[in-house]
Amino acid sequence: MDRLRKMNSNPTNRLTATRTVFSFIFILCLSFLNTVDARQLPDTGTYKNGMVVCAMPQASQVGLDILKKGGNAVDAAIAVQFALEVTHPQAGNIAGGGFMVYRSASGKTNTLDFREKAPAAASRNMFLDSTGTVIPNMSLATRQASGVPGSVDGMAEAFKKYGSLKWAELVQPAIDLARNGFPITRKLAADLNYGRGQFIKLNPGKNYLLKEGGWKEGDLLVQEDLAKTLELIRDKGRDGFYKGKVADEIAAEMKAGNGLITKADLENYHAVWRPAITGSYKGYRIITMPPPSSGGIALLQLLQSVESYPLSRWGFNRDSTVQLMVEAERRVYADRSKYLGDPDFYKVPVDSLLNPAYNKKRMSTFSWAAATPSQSVLPGTFAGYESDQTTHYSIVDKAGNAVSITTTLNGGFGSKIFVGGAGFLLNNEMDDFSSKPGVPNMFGLVGGKANSIEPGKRMLSSMTPTIIEKNGRLFMVDGTPGGSTIITSVFQTILDVTDFGMDMQHAVDAKRFHHQWLPDEVTEEKGALDDATKAILTKKGYVIKDIGGIGRVDAILVTPTGYQGGADPRGDDTKLGW
């Protein structure tokens, strides 16, 4: 590998690095009539009529049922979104937000930004004390931590533009799951038990997601208040959430703890359709999310940075491959800290950041001999410029329409504060703003003025829902949760398929690593890098730390024989096709 590295050691060739700390969930369950449990199939199992890959088996089944009824990919996505609110409370939501990337069977693309917004009463220094110091946990576990929710409005907008079945048909399965209950998985039981102390502390007088003696696998989780809330959404659409009883309950919850969201904030919230940003990588067309997602721009920068290198010859997770990807990630995350934010408030220099010459220049300081200290890597400059818990699902229908959606409450179970009487959790997305320039958020990400808090502004996100074409045809649908590791996980999963020849499930299974500029360290899933590779990189000055699972990727690959799914074994993720 050292010999191969030396072959590419001239200054113009020291380019990019990437990695995809990919993310998402895998576990399959129950075999249903005319439905195949993907765990029982080889990794290359394919399906001709459609596929759903998401975080929970019940939600995957809901989505597949909608496809089998004649619904399209967007219909199925809406049903999955509401089902995940019930079955995946760690991140599924109606009080969070997210992004959707859509590609029609004919190749038309669109994206929907239903990211949360700062309330009208929010202010730049709202999380600072009188000395200008960030107040610990204020942006995480208080009612002030919540941004104005976007998920319900987002689903209503998606339905208005692309829906084909009746709205009530798409919401009803979630109501049934909430009212009748469902047997919880071992992982969900563990997560609920882990959150128990915070649920009790932050929700006096409420009894949501609590069970005397603790939860265990197979217990039935019933959520009657949530079922009633979903019924209002079923019957009244967006007004069932942003007006009337639910809006009153949200406003009352805010008043109970100095929260900022008002009924006016709720009524004035609107999702935004934005053109997709696109790029190319080795003949593939990448269709991804524009700002306020940082993920799409960062992903394209990373791909540009590594494109000229022979990654497939070097090999998966070998020393030269890892070094290149890490150095690219270091530079891209430095740019993220300065240049990315809500485009409705801040002019994001998209064209400059995605200029191949710019990214080539950024990599010109990369040396094969030693790690580049992050302290010496500042956000780049260009002419004329001044100045998780999350969940993902991928769906393709029989016609070939594709949807990639990532949504979030931010932290696991969001703020861990429930809306009394309504039965759902509030987000803590305000932490995704820069509470103070240079001070990291819960994921260690550093930001500045572009992502400062302003009333009505959408906070920056790392969510990276992505669709890929090959020769003008649908090739892959990809995405993951994972906070700051989302970008590198998606990046790495793409390379696993395009450069290392993996099928979809093996690409999702593959162990991942991550670097984000600050802190200056490479984190790896245990076993991602072998001892020899770690020894070479450590000798060059790279600090490598083992952590738990990185990301939970849910993805779909189009093959000559049909759709091939990849559901992440790091969680309860499930792929179902027919």
408 in catalytic set: no
Q: How far apart are CA 155 and CA 162, in angstroms?
A: 10
Q: Return the half-sphere exposure (C-beta side, CA atoms, 13 A cut-off) of residue 240.
A: 21
Number of H helices, E strands in the chain: 18, 19
Query: In 3-state terms, what secondary structure has residue 18?
Result: coil
Contacts of 479 (CB under 8 A, 6+ apart): 24, 392, 393, 394, 404, 405, 406, 463, 464, 465, 466, 486, 490, 553, 554, 555
Residues 90, 95, 99, 103: what is their CA dihedral angle, to the nearest 10 degrees? Answer: 100
Q: How far apart are CA 492 and CA 483, in angstroms?
A: 15
Tokens 């939501």 correspond to 93
Q: Quick one: tokens of 306? A: 């590594």
Q: How far apart are CA 311 and CA 499, in angstroms?
A: 6
| Strand order from edge to edge, sheet including 109-114 | 36-37, 574-577, 51-54, 390-396, 402-408, 97-103, 109-114, 272-274
Tokens 């369950």 correspond to 29
Report whether 286 contacts 293 (CB < 8 A): no
Q: What share of the chain is helix, strand, coil (3-state, %, to 5)?
A: 35, 15, 45
Task: Look at strands 220-221 and 272-274 and give their pairing.
Answer: unpaired
Question: What are 98's strand-pairing partners?
Answer: 114, 407
| Long-range contacts, stretch 360-365, CB < 8 angstroms, 24+ apart | 360/12, 360/15, 360/304, 362/305, 362/331, 362/335, 363/14, 363/15, 363/16, 363/305, 363/327, 363/328, 363/331, 364/11, 364/12, 364/14
Report whether 433 contacts 416 (CB < 8 A): no
Q: How far apart are CA 432 and CA 448, in angstroms?
A: 11
Cα separation values, 447 from 18, 49, 495, Å: 21, 44, 28
Nearest CA among 65, 6, 166, 21 for reference residue 397: 65
Q: Exactly one of 390, 391, 523, 533 is catalytic; name it.
A: 390
CA 522 to chain centre: 20
Task: Look at strands 466-470 and 109-114 and give their pairing.
Answer: unpaired
**Annotated active-site positions, please?**
390
